[in-house]
Amino acid sequence: MERRKLSGPSDIRKSKGLLDRYALMERVEATVQPDVLITNIGELVTLSPLARASRASHVNPDDLGIVKNAWLQIKNSKVEKYGTGPAPALPQGAILSNARCGLVMPGLIDCHTHPVFAGSRSNEFCMRLDGKTYQEIAEAGGGIKSSMMATRAANEADLLGETLARLSVFLGHGVTSVEVKSGYGLSVDSELKLLRVLRAADKKTPQHLTVTCLALHAVPPEHHSAASWAREAAEKLLPQVAREKLADCVDAFVENGYFSADDARSYLDAAKKLGLRIRLHADEFSESGCAKLAAEYGAESADHLQHASDSGIAAMRTADVVAVLLPGTSLYSGIPYTNARRFIDAGCAVAVATDFNPGSCVADNLPMIATLAALHCKLKPAEALVAVTYAAAYALRLHHHKGALHPGYDADFLVQPMATHEDWLADLGRSRPSQVWIKGQRFL
Ligand code: NIG
Ligand code: FE
């Protein structure tokens, strides 16, 4: 199959400047943060009711905790308090920022991305236009393995540069926390390389990163079976990942032609023993029993879920597994959208993420994906907003300090150039935030 050259040069050049800028940010972080007062807020979305109840399910419009004509005060990188009417006096040395009657909301959280890869798969996009399916493209030598070849050949510095450049685009859309997966190395050494790149990116980017080892993404060419790679990953890769603290979570693509639930067990058992948390690519193309597997292993989230069974959804609800919907993949790959109502009606928390990756979904605009989820996964406005903030924090178990603008929470927030959250959702990701703050520090 013809493969294009690495897509990097311009991204890498861009990221060189970024590295310098991020080095500057690290220095700022070392000093004490000044207090901040944001005034003249038209609509402040706090999500305080959810934070107070530590609940991401059964979301209703009151859960948005909206305050009109508001102000927001930040102290020591955290939300100190908020209110309506005249703002309090500016504390000495504090930074004052005017929201110009705009919307202020929690920073967005993208809880499912694949940002570390090399190469381009635009040829596969063209094959899809010719009517080929994701599986047919994979069988013809494309898909995950095509990215694996390019990624194995790339060095750590280039991968880091490209990853940082991608994260900076996420930041421009208002994404202040990101879950980032490996999965294009698919050997012990190459997966370790990608995880080291992600840990290095974590030190350089202002965003909070949750790092996930997705060793079971596809069966590498060196292995004759899925079970044999799963065993090697369990016995050789995961212990090293845990020793070097290279990842927070593990993930597996449980799907026909990739890994069965049984193939994944040795790997998930090893992960649990090593204290690595679990998330799963579940029931995307067919019902593979993965929603139930996620519940059985106490996974934090099960993602995709187009074909989850009713009993699988009930099991997810009981085990508090968050349903992560990825409508960008449906749009880009022409597969069905997941119906959020099945999960919401069963009492599951529902989050939405981009699934940004080089093959099945190149979308990195999370606000656009939230609108897509409202339109096609049938989320109501409050549910869609919560799906990319508090519920996404819950999916990553960050919800005790991120995903809401509640006293004591990290001051990760956006000032938007529109008046209300309905304006934001109807905008299809067209407008960028006019201010992006992470832990009380302004980055855009
Ligand atoms: O989440 N489903 C598996 N993994 C990705 C696709 C990755 C790829 O095609 O490179 C996904 O959609
Ligand atoms: Fe994915």
pLDDT in tens, the chain (444 residues): 333 333 333 444 444 555 555 544 554 555 688 999 999 999 999 999 999 999 999 999 999 999 999 999 999 999 999 999 999 999 999 999 999 999 999 999 999 999 999 999 999 999 999 999 988 999 888 999 999 999 999 999 999 999 999 999 999 999 999 999 999 999 999 999 999 999 999 999 999 999 999 999 999 999 999 999 999 999 999 999 999 999 999 999 999 999 999 999 999 999 999 999 999 999 999 999 999 999 999 999 999 999 999 999 999 999 999 999 999 999 999 999 999 999 999 999 999 999 999 999 999 999 999 999 999 999 999 999 999 999 999 999 999 999 999 999 999 999 999 999 999 999 999 999 999 999 999 999
For CATH 3.20.20.140, the residue range(s) in the chain are 108-395
3-class DSSP state for residue 433? Answer: coil
Q: Are 107 and 175 in contact (CB under 8 A)?
A: yes
Q: Is 359 in the pocket of ligand 1 (CB under 6 A)?
A: yes
What is the model's pTM? 0.94
Rounded distance from Cα 3 to ligand 1 centre (Å): 18
Q: State how far the Cα of 284 lies from the Cα of 306, in Å rounded to an integer.
A: 5
Torsion of CA 181, 183, 185, 191, to 10 degrees: 60
Q: Is 357 in the pocket of ligand 1 (CB under 6 A)?
A: yes
For residue 234, the 8-state DSSP code is: I
Rg of the Cα trace of the chain?
21
Mutate to test the pocket of ligand 1, among 3, 114, 255 (most ligand atoms within 8 A of CB): 114
Q: Write down the CATH superfamily of domain 108-395.
A: Metal-dependent hydrolases (3.20.20.140)
Rounded distance from Cα 1 to ligand 2 centre (Å): 23
Token reading at 148: 């694996």
For CATH 2.30.40.10, the residue range(s) in the chain are 36-107+403-442
* Full DSSP string of 154-191: S-HHHHHHHHHHHHHHHHHTTEEEEEEE--S--SHHHH
How many C-beta atoms lie closer than 10 Å to residue 333's C-beta?
18
Q: Is 360 in the pocket of ligand 1 (CB under 6 A)?
A: yes
Q: Write down the CATH superfamily of domain 36-107+403-442.
A: Urease, subunit C, domain 1 (2.30.40.10)
Question: Which residue type sits at 363?
Answer: A
In this structure, the residue with its CA closest to atom 9 of ligand 1 is: 359
Q: Dump pLDDT digits (tens) for 188-237.
A: 999 999 999 999 999 999 999 999 999 999 999 999 999 999 999 999 99
Q: Of 307, 295, 243, 291, which Cα lies nearest the Cα of 270?
A: 243
